[in-house]
C-alpha cells in the first residue's frame, strides 16, 4: 500500500506574521516575528522639505545629467542619500560595487557567435546593465570607486562618459552617481585616474548635526529635483555661455590645467570637458534660481577651487550695474549690498569718468559716492573719492557733494598716517 504523501499542519513551514499582524495579535507571533515587526517600525521614516545645499547641488547635477562623485568618510550617509534620492525621484536604483568587479564587467565579456570571421566577437554586457536598459530609466550607483584598481577605472571611462557597457547603450534617462572614500580612509584605496576624475562633478559629502539628529528621530530631508523656470531657459543658457567664455577669453591658461599633484589629479580640475560641464551647471542653477552656495559647490566641484572661484567672481561682476546707467541717474542708483561688489561698482564709475571726463559726469560720480556713504560703509568711498578728485579740470567748480565726503576722506587719511607712525616705531 503506498504511503500517504500528505503532511500535517505541524510539518508545514510557518508563515511569518506581518508587522501589522504581529502588533494586532502578539500572543500568536514567534519571537522572530516580533523582531521583524520591531525592525519594520525602525525602518519607517518620513521626509520633509528642508534647505540643504549639498543635497540641492546633488539633485541639480542629476537633473543636468552629469555624473556625480560623492566624496566622504565611511558611514557619513552617502549610500543612504542615494537610496532616498532614487525613491523620491521614483527611479529604480542599481548599485554596483566597483571594487569587486573585473574590467570585463564594464567593457563587456567577449562571446563567440556562430561565425566570428563574418560577425566578429560581440561584447556581452552584465546583467545589471541589461536590467537598466529594459527599465528604460534608473539611477546607477557606482559605490566604493576609490578602491577600484586602475584597470577597473580604465574600463569605467566609457561607461561614465558614453554610457556604453560592451555593445549595450544605456538609455538617456539613466543617471550615474558614484561614491568614494578619501584614500586615507579607504580600504586598500587608490587615487582616481585623471581621465576618470575629470568626467565627474566632485561633491564633498559632510554630515550636518541637525539633519542627523532629526533624521534619527524619523524625519530626513526630502530630495527633490529643482524647479526650472521655463521662461528663463534661453536667458540662463546665454548667461552661462557669456560667463564661462568671458572668463576663459581673459584667462586662457585656465582652459586646461592638469594638476602636478597626484591627489589633486584625482579631483576636480579644469579642462574643456569640465568647463562644458560647468557651463551646463551654471545654466541649470540660473534657471532654478539656486543660491550662490549651491552654485559654488557645483562649479568648484567641476573645475577645481581656484578656477571655480574665479568663475564665481566673474558671475558677480556680470550682475553689477552698468556704470553709464548709474552716471545717467545717480540719485536713483541701486548699489550692491556686498562690500566687495560695491567697491567694484564705484571703481567702475570712476574709470568711466576717467575714460570720458566731462563736468556733468564728474558731478554725477560725486553724487554716487555720497549715496554710497549714506547707504553703506563710508570707508569704501575713500579710494574712489581720492581718484575722482584727481580728475578735476581747472575750470570745473567743486560740487557741494565733496563737502559731505571731506570728513570721511580726512578721517581715513589720518588713520593711514597713524598706522604708518606705529609701523615706523615698531621697525626701530
The pTM (predicted TM-score) of the whole model is 0.73
Percent of the chain with pLDDT over 70: 84
Per-domain boundaries in the chain: 47-109+122-221, 230-318, 323-426
Cα separation, 320 vs 416, whole angstroms: 30
DSSP secondary structure string, 267-321? S----HHHHHHHHHHHHHHHHHT--HHHHHHHHHHHH-HHHHHHHHHHHHHHTSP
CB neighbour list of residue 56: distance below 8 Å, 6 or more residues apart: 226, 290, 294
pLDDT at 298: 97
Among candidate residues 175, 189, 170, 274, the one with its CA nearest the CA of residue 223? 175
pLDDT digits over 189-226, tens only?
678 889 999 999 999 988 888 888 888 888 888 777 88
Cα separation, 230 vs 289, whole angstroms: 12
Query: Is residue 408 predicted with pLDDT exceeding 80?
Result: no
- Residue 96, classed as helix, strand or coil, is strand
Superfamily name and number for 47-109+122-221: P-loop containing nucleotide triphosphate hydrolases (3.40.50.300)
pLDDT digits over 90-146, tens only?
889 999 998 888 888 888 777 766 666 666 677 778 888 999 999 999 999 998 888
> pLDDT-based confidence at 416, cuts 50/70/90?
very low
Q: How far is CA 233 from CA 62, 226, 276, 376, in A?
A: 17, 13, 17, 34
pLDDT digits over 159-185, tens only?
998 898 888 899 989 999 999 888 666
Query: Is residue 237 predicted with pLDDT exceeding 90?
Result: yes
Q: To 10 degrees, what angle do helices 401-426 and 359-375 make?
A: 70
pLDDT at 76: 80
Cα separation, 192 vs 194, whole angstroms: 6
Amino acid at each position: 500500500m503506498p504511503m500517504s504523501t500528505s503532511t500535517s499542519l505541524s510539518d508545514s513551514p510557518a508563515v511569518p506574521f506581518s508587522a501589522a499582524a504581529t502588533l494586532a495579535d502578539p500572543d500568536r507571533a514567534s519571537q522572530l516575528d516580533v523582531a521583524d515587526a520591531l525592525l519594520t517600525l525602525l525602518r519607517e521614516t518620513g521626509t520633509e522639505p528642508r534647505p540643504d545645499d549639498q543635497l540641492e547641488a546633488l539633485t541639480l547635477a542629476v537633473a543636468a545629467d552629469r555624473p556625480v562623485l560623492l566624496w566622504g568618510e565611511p558611514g557619513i550617509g552617502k549610500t543612504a542619500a542615494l537610496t532616498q534620492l532614487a525613491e523620491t525621484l521614483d527611479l529604480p536604483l542599481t548599485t554596483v560595487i566597483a571594487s569587486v568587479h573585473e574590467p570585463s564587467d564594464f567593457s563587456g565579456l567577449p562571446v563567440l557567435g556562430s561565425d566570428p570571421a563574418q560577425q566578429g566577437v560581440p561584447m556581452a554586457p552584465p546583467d545589471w546593465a541589461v536590467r537598466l536598459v529594459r527599465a528604460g530609466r534608473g539611477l546607477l550607483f557606482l559605490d566604493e570607486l576609490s578602491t577600484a584598481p586602475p584597470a577597473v577605472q580604465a574600463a569605467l571611462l566609457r561607461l561614465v562618459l558614453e554610457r556604453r557597457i560592451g555593445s549595450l547603450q544605456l538609455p538617456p534617462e539613466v543617471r550615474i552617481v558614484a561614491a568614494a572614500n578619501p584614500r586615507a580612509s579607504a580600504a586598500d584605496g587608490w587615487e582616481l585616474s585623471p581621465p576618470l576624475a575629470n568626467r565627474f562633478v566632485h561633491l564633498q559629502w559632510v554630515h550636518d548635526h541637525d539633519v542627523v539628529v532629526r533624521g534619527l528621530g524619523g524625519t530626513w530631508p526630502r530630495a527633490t529635483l529643482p524647479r526650472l523656470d521655463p521662461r528663463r531657459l534661453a536667458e540662463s543658457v546665454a548667461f552661462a555661455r557669456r560667463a564661462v567664455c568671458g572668463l576663459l577669453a581673459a584667462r586662457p591658461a585656465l582652459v586646461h590645467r592638469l594638476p602636478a599633484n597626484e591627489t589633486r589629479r584625482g579631483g576636480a580640475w579644469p579642462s574643456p570637458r569640465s568647463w562644458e560641464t560647468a557651463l551646463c551647471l551654471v545654466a541649470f542653477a540660473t534657471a532654478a534660481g539656486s543660491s550662490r552656495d549651491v552654485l559654488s559647490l557645483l562649479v568648484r566641484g567641476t573645475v577645481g577651487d581656484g578656477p571655480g572661484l574665479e568663475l564665481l567672481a566673474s558671475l558677480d561682476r556680470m550682475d553689477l550695474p552698468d556704470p553709464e546707467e548709474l552716471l545717467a541717474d545717480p540719485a536713483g542708483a541701486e548699489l550692491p549690498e556686498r562690500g566687495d561688489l560695491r567697491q567694484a561698482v564705484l571703481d567702475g564709475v570712476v574709470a568711466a569718468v576717467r575714460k570720458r571726463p566731462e563736468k556733468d559726469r564728474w558731478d554725477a560720480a560725486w553724487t554716487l559716492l555720497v549715496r554710497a556713504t549714506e547707504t553703506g560703509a563710508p570707508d569704501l568711498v575713500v579710494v574712489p573719492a581720492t581718484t575722482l578728485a584727481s580728475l578735476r579740470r581747472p575750470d570745473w567748480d567743486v560740487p557741494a557733494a565733496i563737502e559731505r565726503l571731506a570728513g570721511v576722506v580726512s578721517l581715513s587719511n589720518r588713520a593711514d598716517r597713524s598706522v604708518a607712525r606705529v609701523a615706523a616705531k615698531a621697525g626701530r
